[in-house]
Amino acid sequence: MKYQFPEAFWWGSASSALQTEGESQPDARGETTWDRWYQQQPTRFHQQVGPQDTSTFYQHWREDIALLKQLNHNSFRTSISWSRLIPDGTGEVNPQAVAFYNNVIDELLAQGIKPFITLFHFDMPLVMQQQGGWESRAVVEAFSRYARLCFELFGDRVLHWFTFNEPIVPVEGGYLYDFHYPNVVDFKRAATAAYHTVLAHAQAVRAFRAGQYPGEIGIVLNLTPSYPRSQHPADVKAAHHADLLFNRSFLDPVLRGEYPADLVALLQSYDQLPACQPGDAELIADGKIDLLGINYYQPRRVKCRDSAVNLQSPFMPEWLFDNYEMPGRKMNPYRGWEIYEPGIYDILTNLRVNYDNPRCFISENGMGVENEQRFNQNGQINDQYRIEFVTGHLKWLHKGISEGSQCLGYHMWTFIDNWSWCNAYKNRYGFVQLDLATQQRTVKKSGEWFARTAVDNGFNE
Ligand code: BG6
């Protein structure tokens, strides 16, 4: 069977500034929370590799864009580093950063590759964090100034903007589960940070609309369909709660312009609602997007709690549900995440049926592999598992499109193996293998496969 995708489908991959750029000396960019955390606690990072050890895109941008071209990308997403552009978050603009991002954008366009630009991919300028990070309304203001500056500088050429990448991840990591700075565990503070992130997003959308820049603006959300263990009402309710907290807390504001009433009621019942100000509802309503990026890696399996919660302990999401290890589920043996290809179709169907079928694309999907070097044959990584992973997801994506979903493209995570936060280089995801020591790049089998698929706009099976 031929899986043919719509004309002008976006084929490409995604990456981010801090994970690839390098050049993190003080005169090149301001410190981020990651630099500081790494200095303080290097052992929290896999093999103690920190954010300075990258594929050095800051130097190798021309060579890497040539590789993107070789892999027949027609689009590519990366982020601008706030701390490179405005080292202290609010003050002077760094002219070297402007020149660098101009070079990247111009070269992408010269090679026929559409630049998709994210404004915030986890890399909070340290100064902004010291002023409260997303818990602070002042930082919300500062973000919208930064966003406006990006639109002014690059908006004549960048036609696809994304305010945030996976905004829930810094909230979960930084305020609930201790895998991002500032390593707090406090639900109310998490809810406040999440709420302010939505406000920051909406202010940036307002600025974009007010400036009448060409192109469109969206956000990238990691959506994890929540499947209940059974149809027992208690399991179904648990899955609904997980969905409200981890998907709809961002999805509803950006697509419907408001929070789900049952999420608000739920948080209110546990006294966990963040403080609002007059005008917030109107601002959130103005934050509706033109284009949704969907990151999909794995679903969430949920069951009701088997034991009562300790009401003396601080409130946590796990009061409302338990994660469920479904027997027989298919696992990625090299990363420990479930592989469930129909999840991508379920996301598209949910969006089509319940959210008025928004314009969207798959902005990340990918397979992380530990010790991937073991699959090296004659100097090349033979990652047949990754080709199977991608084709499996593309088939379900194709079905979603054939049923009417407005899914406009598919981007893989990621282009070149990159530094991945606390996991550093533990799990490799790239189409291109990176030798960190020599900086040598070698296209994997999956990269060659992707190049053919992109040029054929589909594949046969
Ligand atoms: C994605 C993030 O969710 O997961 C990336 O957008 C990250 O920034 C990727 O690198 C892979 O994560 P990990 O933990 O498997 O290395």
ipTM of predicted assembly, 2 dp: 0.97
Q: What spacing in Å lies between the alpha carbon of 265 and ligand 1's midpoint?
A: 32
Q: What spacing in Å lies between the alpha carbon of 420 and ligand 1's midpoint?
A: 6
**Who contacts 388 (Cβ-Cβ below 8 Å, separation ≥6)?**
none
Coarse DSSP helix, strand, coil percentages of the chain, rounded to the nearest 5 percent: 45, 20, 40
Pairing between strand 380-381 and 376-377? antiparallel
Q: Over 90: is that where the pLDDT of 25 sits?
A: no
pLDDT of residue 26: 84
H or E, element range at 4? strand 2-4
Atom index in ligand 1 nearest the CA of residue 122 equals 8
Q: Whose CA is nearest to atom 7 of ligand 1?
A: 420
pLDDT tens sequence across 293-328? 999 999 999 999 988 999 899 999 999 999 999 999
Can you tell me which residue has the tokens 């406040």?
192
pLDDT tens sequence across 212-259? 999 999 999 999 999 999 999 999 999 999 999 999 999 999 999 999
CATH of domain 2-460: 3.20.20.80
Q: 0.90 cut: is pTM over it?
A: yes
Q: What spacing in Å lies between the alpha carbon of 153 and ligand 1's midpoint?
A: 28
150 confidence band (pLDDT: 50, 70, 90): very high
Rounded Cα distance, 181 and 139, in Å: 16
pLDDT tens sequence across 152-171? 999 999 999 999 999 999 99
State the DSSP code for 195: H
- The answer to whether residue 364 is catalytic is yes
Q: Write out residues with Cβ below 6 Å of ligand 1.
A: 16, 165-166, 222, 295, 364, 368, 413, 420, 423, 427
Distances (CA, A) of 399 to 13, 351, 364: 21, 14, 18
pLDDT of residue 379: 97
Active-site option among 21, 107, 364, 372: 364
